[in-house]
Amino acid sequence: MFSKSCKYAIRAVLYMAYKTSPDQRVGVKEISDTLDVPGPFLAKLLQQLTRNNLVSSIKGPNGGFFLSEKNRNEPLRKVVECIDGPEVFSACILGLPVCSSENPCPLHTQAFIYREGLLQMVGKKTVAEIAAQVSQEGLSV
Amino acid sequence: MFSKSCKYAIRAVLYMAYKTSPDQRVGVKEISDTLDVPGPFLAKLLQQLTRNNLVSSIKGPNGGFFLSEKNRNEPLRKVVECIDGPEVFSACILGLPVCSSENPCPLHTQAFIYREGLLQMVGKKTVAEIAAQVSQEGLSV
DNA sequence: TTAAAAAAAGATATAAAAGTCTTTTTATCT
DNA sequence: AGATAAAAAGACTTTTATATCTTTTTTTAA
């Protein structure tokens, strides 16, 4: 479903959501060590998210990455689409160029129903909301 | 969700389900031309399926690939798992090494529901049943 | 019994994804 | 101002997935 890049990005953003604030930044190394993810690779992803205003950063000593209030209130879907592109939720599960309700592939209906469920979740819930659930319920990131 | 290989394999098997029988074989070229898929690559996939008794083949002139009665009555799931491995339906959507109902990742519940529905479908319906639907409803492969 | 047709097998090539390294820029603190 | 810490940017490498090519084996039919 998601590329490795996207998985790393989602996890990093959720981690940042409960670890950072505009005056509480965190470096790539801390994130990559905690999530057990390749550091320089994660850096690229965070930079891409930063360019797209889904993550914030400050350079220099005491700088680092963090989520602004605005960043927290974005639906998680934006993070996914920033890394994997908008097609993740709409592309045909069998890779057919045209596959829709009018012209469905054999697995279309099932794939649609269930992908729609995921989409509803990451599309409606914000980063902050999902992160809140993570800390309340002690989920792993 | 599925690799390209797996998508090609599913489509090829469903195509064969309504095009072939033990005495009505079809060559790789016809399949790859019809599905618009790279021929030699598809050949490898079909050979892998053949080794795992999910597709049948006969060499020589008038030979080719086909589905035996047994092949048709396998759940489509077997084809998927033969190509992408059994993890496709169970691996964590965020790639966490351990993710279960007891120790879920933030997207676990939604992802589980999503995948379970698909799994039910390809796990319960046989190749023949899905193929029947394809020809009855005129779906695209 | 030889030629041809088809799959099987194996080697090789290409492309895409994942990961690393180096240099540059920006900010902070002494 | 100078040293340092961090992200930003870009080049590069490695790995994995996808795709192709070549040779071998099997079968059929003339």
Per-residue pLDDT tens digits for B33-43? 999 999 999 99
Average pLDDT over residues A59-83: 98
Q: What is the pLDDT of residues B75-88, one digit of tens each?
A: 999 999 999 999 99
Q: What local confidence, expressed as pLDDT, does residue B127 receive?
A: 98
Structural domains of chain B sorted by starting position, each given as residue range(s) with its CATH number in brackets = 4-136 (1.10.10.10)
Q: What local confidence, expressed as pLDDT, does residue B114 receive?
A: 82
Nucleotide with smallest C1' distance to residue B84 CA? D17
Phi, psi of B105 (to 5 degrees): -85, 170
Q: Which residues of B touch A94 (CB under 8 A)?
A: 2, 7, 10-11, 141
Three-state DSSP at A126 gives strand
The 8-class DSSP code of residue A56 comes to E
Work out the mean pLDDT of chain A and round it to a whole number. 96
Nucleotide with smallest C1' distance to residue A64 CA? D6
Percent of chain A with pLDDT over 90: 96
Q: How confident is the model at residue B135 (pLDDT cuts 50, 70, 90)?
A: very high
Average pLDDT over residues A113-124: 92
Whether A29 has a pLDDT exceeding 90, the answer reads yes
Query: How many residue pairs bridge chain A and chain B with CB atoms within 8 Å of each other?
Result: 87
B4 CA to D17 C1' in angstroms comes to 9
Three-state DSSP at B26 gives strand
Say yes or no: Cβ of B4 under 7 A from any atom of strand D.
yes
Burial class (CB in 10 A: 0-12, 13-18, 19+), A86: exposed
Q: What local confidence, expressed as pLDDT, does residue B37 receive?
A: 98
Residue with CA nearest C1' of nucleotide C6: B60
Q: What is the CA radius of gyration of chain B?
A: 17
Q: What is the pLDDT of residues A101-118, one digit of tens each?
A: 999 999 999 999 888 989
Q: Which residues of B touch A134 (CB under 8 A)?
A: 106
Q: Could you tell me the CA-to-CA distances from A107 to A49, A90, B129 in Å, in that order?
A: 33, 13, 12
Say yes or no: Cβ of B62 under 7 A from any atom of strand D.
yes
Residue with CA nearest C1' of nucleotide C3: B61
CB < 7 A to strand D: residues 17-36, chain A: 25-29
Q: What is the pLDDT of residues B48-74, one digit of tens each?
A: 999 999 999 999 999 999 999 999 999
Whether B138 has a pLDDT exceeding 90, the answer reads yes
Q: What is the pLDDT of residues B124-134, one digit of tens each?
A: 999 999 999 99
Whether A61 has a pLDDT exceeding 90, the answer reads yes
Whether B113 has a pLDDT exceeding 90, the answer reads no
Contact status of A2 with chain B (Cβ, < 8 Å): yes
Q: Are A7 and A22 in contact (CB under 8 A)?
A: no
Q: How far apart are CA B89 and CA B137, in angstroms?
A: 27
Three-state DSSP at B135 gives helix
B118 CA to D14 C1' in angstroms comes to 35
Strands B64-66 and A56-58: unpaired
CA distance A40 to chain B (A): 19
B62 CA to D28 C1' in angstroms comes to 8
Say yes or no: Cβ of B15 under 7 A from any atom of strand D.
no
Whether A46 has a pLDDT exceeding 90, the answer reads yes
Q: What local confidence, expressed as pLDDT, does residue A25 receive?
A: 97
Q: What local confidence, expressed as pLDDT, does residue B126 receive?
A: 98
Which pair of tokens denotes residue A55?
């993550």
Q: What local confidence, expressed as pLDDT, does residue A114 receive?
A: 82
Contact B11 A94 (CB under 8 A): yes
Phi, psi of B57 (to 5 degrees): -150, 155
Q: What local confidence, expressed as pLDDT, does residue A15 receive?
A: 98
Nucleotide with smallest C1' distance to residue A4 CA? C18
Work out the mean pLDDT of chain B and round it to a whole number. 96
- Give nucleotides in strand D with any atom < 7 A to a protein C-beta: 4-11, 17-22, 25-29
Q: How confident is the model at residue B89 (pLDDT cuts 50, 70, 90)?
A: very high
Residue with CA nearest C1' of nucleotide C28: A61
